[in-house]
Amino acid sequence: MANHKSAIKRIWVNERRRKRNRVIISQTRTEVRKARELIAQKDQSAKEATLEAIRLLDKAASKGVIHKNNAARRKSRLVKRLQELSAQ
């Protein structure tokens, strides 16, 4: 266990942030998965699901939960799949 007051506070703050970040990461992964599944099924609502996933990725990147390049890469891959669907 930590001995210094500041170290004890860091433990509390880190735990609080970890819990908040887990929620954001979980939501983001869920929306990305939904978008990918709808694209694979060639569903009409795939575009809306992709936009929602992009919105959550941007939100996570702006809060520092994921790196901005990580969010950009995931968005790029999603949009690429969506465009392949619309090209067919």
Task: State yes or no: pLDDT of 88 exceeds 80.
Answer: no
pLDDT of residue 2: 81
Cα–Cα separations (whole angstroms), residue 22 to 18, 47, 74: 6, 26, 18
| CB within 8 Å of 53: residues ≥ 6 apart | 28, 31, 32, 34, 35, 75, 78
Domain boundaries, the chain: 5-87
Task: State yes or no: pLDDT of 31 exceeds 80.
Answer: yes
82 close to 50: Cβ distance less than 8 angstroms: yes
pTM score, whole prediction: 0.86
- Does 3.30.590.10 match the CATH number of domain 5-87? no
SS3 call for 44:
coil
State pLDDT tens for residues 36-85: 999 999 988 999 999 999 999 999 999 999 999 999 999 999 999 999 88
